[in-house]
Amino acid sequence: MYAKEMLKQSLPLLIFCGLGGIVAGSTLSVMADIIQNIPGLIVVIPAIIALRGNISTAFGSRLGSAYHLGIIDAENMWNNELKQNVIGSLVLSFLISTIIGILAYGTTILFFDVHPDPLKLISIVLLAGIISAIILTLMTIVIIFIVFKRGYDPDNITGPALATFGDIVTMFCIFGSAILVEVIM
């Protein structure tokens, strides 16, 4: 019975998240040309997606705990506790994006003797990291607000919702940043 309940509750959600993955993957396949044109771009993709997933799920689960602790609620959302969380997530995104850019540049030279344009690569990662951070932070706050209003437990909703939309938003941001940087530089 125990196993049946797990299957019944999680399987639809897993398939739904998989559909989100198909959308993110289709974006990636549309990017095939730009991936070939910008050396090192493919290297940063798993790292940016992982960064986004880790930071926004932690942000979501902290807001969930804050709700259970009674620190924030639907009437009192934009307080200093929320602001500290938002600033923390954005600063982390900025720092980790920079590390990703530098690591990708260094390891690409080391392993493949291919020389990517460091300025281009780091700009793409930073732009994609920051823009996706802003979009997903706002999205998390909106999701949490709706969840509060309806009286659901945020812990059950934010994780899967962010897992599904996070990858899609991030992939769009990488694609957009790559095109932007390619046009400007």
Positions in the binding site for other proteins (CB under 8 A): 2-3, 6-7, 10-11, 14-15, 17-22, 24-26, 28-29, 32, 35-36, 40, 42-47, 49-51, 53-55, 57-58, 62, 66, 69, 71, 80-81, 84-85, 87-89, 91-92, 95-96, 99-100, 103-104, 107-108, 111-112, 159-160, 163, 167, 171
d(CA 14, CA 42): 26
What SS3 state is found at 149?
A: helix
Least separation in angstroms between residue 135's CB and other proteins is 17
Least separation in angstroms between residue 131's CB and other proteins is 18
**Nearer to other proteins among residue 65 and residue 184 (C-beta):** 65
d(CA 131, CA 30): 20
Query: Cα–Cα–Cα angle for 31, 123, 23, nearest 5°?
Result: 30
Three-state SS for 25-56 is: HHHHHHCHHHHHHCCCHHHHHHHHHHHHHHHH
**Nearer to other proteins among residue 104 and residue 135 (C-beta):** 104
Least separation in angstroms between residue 129's CB and other proteins is 11
For helices 154-184 and 2-30, angle between their N-to-C axes, nearest 10 degrees: 10
Least separation in angstroms between residue 167's CB and other proteins is 5
